[in-house]
Amino acid sequence: DKGQYPHYMLKEIHEQPETLSRTLSHYLDPIEMRVDMPDGLDFAAIDRVIIVACGTAYYAGMVAKYMFEQIAGLAVDIDIASEFRYRDPVLSPKSLMIVVSQSGETADTLAALRYAKSFNLKTAALVNVMTSTMAREADIALPIKAGPEIGVASTKAFTSQTCALATLAVGAAFARGHIDADTAAAHCRDLATLPQRVVEALLCSDDIAQVAATLIDAKSIFFLGRGPMVPIALEGALKLKEISYIHAEGYAAGELKHGPIALIETGTPVIIIAPDDALFEKTVSNLQEVAARGARIILLTDAKGADAAKGLSKTIVTLPTATPLCAPIIQAIGQQLLAYHTAVTLGTDVDQPRNLAKSVTVE
Ligand code: F6R
């Protein structure tokens, strides 16, 4: 039931304060403000995490790589399932394999899980559907608690995957002695503010709809970010192409001058995802590079970033201020709304985009 919403996708976008609250209550102890580490998951016993997934779930894993490495000092390899399964990957026995999948049925991801099991690796499946094959076959089934996702383009599953992985990164950091209990509690308190920040992010919907209306004639759109905003740029481009059918490319902003900048013409829309973080200045210099080549800049940032970039971009969307653990999720919501409103303006079938299936059970 879509309730008051014209599409499941919009309903699911707006459910995110609740779905993220559920994810957080599963992984955090709200009284003690610590991570409730799922049974069997011992991050002190491993020296590497391998995250394998497809599509949007892969981008959630990519965000998690930044979190595990930065907060927990734990090395993370991230792989596309269809590549991992056929590549003869070299697996060290002290690795933990985490497959990430909304459906828990994606053929390539399941094959990657089975491959890791055949090498006796410890495996965990982070899934939305707990009755799925991956949940059954992995050593540890980790729920994301997003509830049924009907829209083919993944929204609430992505933010709950990212959120669950963020809590695990904090738990891993503490378990490994990389941070003390006070620092872990501070991270947990920070994550606990996420649902309220998401409520505020959703209030940007009308502003974003206005930006979307200016994109409908674009033949190509670029999405740029740095650090954890790289996967969000890739996710923004994926979401836009899958439901609006506009050609879009996401890039690490620093890669621009290694090729893609050749594609920038007068009026090419370039979406820059840059909250005020440690890399903000670097991203702003990439903004200036594309602006100098005539690009039409659309900056998605936070209040401090908006202030700093005044005069550099005519179009600025100010999303809520968030810490590094929460910012990728807040910025992802901006991307979901941008893709949604662009597609609706173009009149495409938002919930059932052409050529796509919700669950890809054949390779
Ligand atoms: C994009 C999207 C797909 C899925 C991918 C993996 O919006 O929904 O890219 O993320 O097919 O599906 P799951 O997570 O079910 O393994």
Which tens digits make up the pLDDT trace of 159-215?
999 999 999 999 999 999 999 999 999 999 999 999 999 999 999 999 999 999 999
CA atoms within 13 A on the CB side of 144: 34
The whole-number average pLDDT for the span 125-129 is 98
Distances (CA, A) of 84 to 113, 128, 134, 266, 278: 10, 22, 16, 40, 32
**High-pLDDT (> 70) share of the chain, %:** 100
Q: How many helices (H) and strands (E) does the chain have?
A: 14, 12
**Residues 235/335, Cβ–Cβ less than 8 Å:** yes
The total of other beta-carbon atoms located within 10 Å of residue 334's CB is: 27
- Angle ∠(236,12,240) on CA atoms, nearest 5: 20
- Residues 213 and 354: their CA atoms lie apart, in Å, by 21
- Residues 297 and 263: their CA atoms lie apart, in Å, by 14
Residue to probe by mutation, ligand 1, list 52, 54, 241, most atoms within 8 Å of CB: 54
Q: How many residues does the chain have?
A: 363
For the CA of 53, the closest atom of ligand 1 is 16
Give residue 14's identity as a one-letter amino acid code.
H
- Residues 355 and 187: their CA atoms lie apart, in Å, by 41
Query: What DSSP letter does each residue of 68-113 carry, written as one string?
Result: HHHHH---EEEEEHHHHTTS-----TTEEEEEEESSS--HHHHHHH
Distance 61 CA to ligand 1 centre (A): 12
What's the pLDDT score for residue 359? 84
ipTM value for the complex: 0.98
What's the pLDDT score for residue 49? 98
Beta bridge mates, 280: none
- Residues 170 and 158: their CA atoms lie apart, in Å, by 19
Residue 226: alpha-carbon gap to chain centroid: 13
- Closest residue CA from atom 16 of ligand 1: 101
- 26-67 pLDDT, tens digit per residue, is 999 989 999 999 999 999 999 999 999 999 999 999 999 999
- 290-305 pLDDT, tens digit per residue, is 999 999 999 999 999 9
Quickly state the pLDDT bin for 114 (edges 50, 70, 90).
very high
Among this protein's residues, is 219 annotated catalytic?
no
Query: What secondary structure letter does DSSP report for 321?
Result: P
Whether ligand 1 lies within 6 angstroms of the CB of 111 is answered as: no
Distance 152 CA to ligand 1 centre (A): 8
Whether ligand 1 lies within 6 angstroms of the CB of 57 is answered as: yes
- Residues 245 and 81: their CA atoms lie apart, in Å, by 24
The whole-number average pLDDT for the span 9-16 is 98
Quickly state the pLDDT bin for 103 (edges 50, 70, 90).
very high
Whether ligand 1 lies within 6 angstroms of the CB of 23 is answered as: no
The total of other beta-carbon atoms located within 10 Å of residue 354's CB is: 9
- 213-257 pLDDT, tens digit per residue, is 999 999 999 999 999 999 999 999 999 999 999 999 999 999 999
